[in-house]
Chain A
């Protein structure tokens, strides 16, 4: 049994309350009308299946019902971090020990501000 930290409820909750929803950070082609069949097929159907560190989308189905991201080791099942939609992971295959918090935060502000605004569009 895992306890998983929900970044929106901000506490560790029972695994039973969550559902995995597949690979995270899949970018929709900017212009679907002009992308090739191969690009569109990749976007729709093809997913990574790495051994080791992987970023996944999960949903806190029985709690706050928000989607968020988990960085997880697919071999050891260790959960390295959970983070909100629109944020960048600290841990990745390139940085298995984790990037410094400042770096992550700086990237987050520069690249992700627009996406955060989209995903939290209900904020007035």
Chain B
């Protein structure tokens, strides 16, 4: 798809078709750990399973809730949530970040088209869309000990009574910060900033060691 200018905003595809090598924010950690201490593999005893969902499309939407809701429903078929909402396939999500800010995550490669369709739908409204795909990555934590790992790492109350399915928050985590979300009963998702990803990944492996954490590659 070609680049298009909307009013004063020039857009461009950050994920062009030309074969430019890309590395996830965790590639250094994966490779270095494989040299010194190998990333533990998943086995039947793993109380926590970690899997990076690399190279997804992350878009930050800013603007008024009413106009954004209309556009997001039209383009993604999801109503703007106060927590976390997923489409039927579970592959596309919209998350509340603040009263005028939402995070949209779509399968890698869809983000530029989704951005353009949102811009078409939003027209002259006062809004901003920023493609943050290269700046963060999504990590999924599953397993019966996943919640205990979170309890060791964040002061946020992750008990099901306070953190049910569909909730999403930005919190302090291991003296750093990340977005914590719960898309399903048995699964948590962490959105890590690129600059913190390496540190947080190593923290999670360390915190998960006692639960036999395994890394799905």
Contact = CB atoms under 8 A, between A and B. Distances in A.
Interface residues of A, number: 16
Contacts of B171: 13-14, 17, 62-63
Contacts, number: 48
Interface string B120-162: 0000011100000000000000000000000000011000000
A122 interface: yes
B107 interface: no
A64 B155 contact: no
A124 B98 contact: no
Interface string A93-116: 000000000000000000000000
Q: Which of B63, B125, B171 gathers most chain A CB within 10 Å?
A: B171
The DSSP consensus for interface residues of chain A is: loop
Contacts of A122: 62-64, 100, 126
Interface string A1-33: 100000011000110110000000000000000
B155 A9 contact: no
A62 B175 CA distance: 11
B172 interface: yes
Contacts of A17: 171-172
Of the four ranges (under 10, 10 to 19, 20 to 34, 35 or more), the interface on chain B belongs to: 20 to 34
A66 B96 CA distance: 13
Nearest to A12: B157
Interface string B162-180: 0000000111100001000
A123 interface: yes
A47 interface: no
Contact of B98 (A13, A14, A16, A64): A64
Contacts of B62: 122
A13 B158 CA distance: 12
A122 B64 CA distance: 6
Contacts of A66: 98-99
A63 to B, nearest CB: 5
A116 to B, nearest CB: 12
A8 B99 contact: yes
A9 B100 contact: no
B155 A16 contact: yes
B169 A9 contact: yes
A14 B155 contact: yes
Given A17-B172, A64-B99, A64-B101, 14 more contacts: A14-B155, A14-B156, A62-B171, A63-B98, A63-B169, A64-B98, A66-B99, A122-B63, A122-B64, A123-B64, A123-B65, A123-B66, A123-B100, A124-B127
The 10 closest A-B pairs by CB, nearest first: A124-B64, A64-B98, A123-B64, A14-B155, A124-B67, A62-B177, A122-B100, A16-B172, A63-B170, A8-B99
30 contacts: A1-B155, A8-B98, A8-B99, A9-B169, A13-B156, A14-B155, A14-B156, A14-B171, A16-B155, A16-B172, A17-B171, A62-B170, A62-B171, A62-B172, A62-B177, A63-B169, A63-B170, A63-B171, A64-B97, A64-B99, A120-B99, A122-B62, A122-B100, A122-B126, A123-B64, A123-B65, A123-B100, A124-B67, A124-B125, A124-B126
Interface of B: 62-67, 97-101, 125-127, 155-156, 169-172, 177
